[in-house]
Structure 1
Amino acid sequence: MSKPRVHLICNAHLDPVWQWRWEEGCAEAIATFRTAVKMLREHDQLIFNHNEAILYRWVQKYDPPTFKEIQQLVKEGRWFISSGWHLQPDVNLPGTESIIRQITEGRRYFQEHFGVQPRVAYNFDSFGHSGGL
């Protein structure tokens, strides 16, 4: 009998503008991504996962070297882009069109800058779901 295998999924959940000013949320996103890159470079078997295009846009604009590192890690299969949200939405109240726009905008960005289309989706921190789903 083979030993069971356990997979832990590394993800950083940020609410960049919930309780922070925009600038603070942006700084937290950049710091989180820098830390993830550092950990991936130090630990060969670690894979990181994140899902919000707006955070990648901030890193791309304000920390291009980290963005380039992330692009390389995606190519190496060490950084996984999931969901494809522009920003993880509140799906309790918005209509269907808003949710679809979140996905299409995010997926367009990831295809353009990383050459990937997310195949796994999730929505952490949801307080409910609208009838549009």
Structure 2
Amino acid sequence: LKNVLDTGTRLNADLSTSLILTIFGYEAPLHDGAILIQSGTVVAAGCFLPLSEQADIRRSFGTRHRAALGLAENTDAVVLVVSEESGAISLAHDANLYYDLSISEIRTAMRRLLDFRDEGESIIEETGFDE
């Protein structure tokens, strides 16, 4: 992920709801791009992701979804993407894109894919995101 990390601004800040909302706030300097989170730390923001080259992606998916899928194809990252138009949350992992997931489905997938233990569970709960 170093090549992706180098495209953004390094933050090394504790993960929190307020930080994510600040980063992705309308007209915020870092809102255009992805944030990289590792072990409960927002490592960087405003990162640009590689686009997927899959030919069978739904035509309705734009650059944001293609970028999430592109990173999932090239790394072991778990990528969350929010549709700008519908607000639907999707998850990309291992060259697959799972579209329009509920908060419960996302939590279940994150626990399974990231093999959360005690620390990971508290990180998920601290975000305070509810359905």
TM-score normalised per structure 1: 0.28
Per chain length, whose mean CA-contact separation is higher, i.e. which structure has more relative contact order (CA < 8 Å, sep 6+)? 1
Higher Rg of the two aligned structures: 1
TM-score normalised per structure 2: 0.29
More strand by share: 2
More helix by share: 1
